[in-house]
Amino acid sequence: MIWYLTSRSEYETAGAGIGAAWKETLGRNFPPSTLLYVGGLVDDRAKVEIEVTAFVPGT
């Protein structure tokens, strides 16, 4: 999981909400992840982009 964020301060301010959404969605699963701060994304309105690679055993 790779997170691309445009604002460190907004991410830190939203920390509790992000944690609550994570817990609701993923529970106690903590996949390996990298968080990067970038100057901007392709869509100027975007503040975060998350890239995920999934592995499905037995397929």
Tens of pLDDT, residues 10-20: 999 999 999 99
| The model's pTM | 0.76
Q: What is the pLDDT of residues 3-58, one digit of tens each?
A: 999 999 999 999 999 999 989 998 888 889 999 999 999 999 999 999 999 888 98
Q: Is 39 exposed, middle or buried (0-12, 13-18, 19+ CB in 10 A)?
A: exposed
pLDDT of residue 30: 83
Pair 48, 16: CB distance under 8 Å: no
Residue 16 to residues 11, 19, 23, 57, 59: CA-CA distances in angstroms? 10, 5, 11, 32, 36
- The ranges assigned to domains in the chain are 2-51
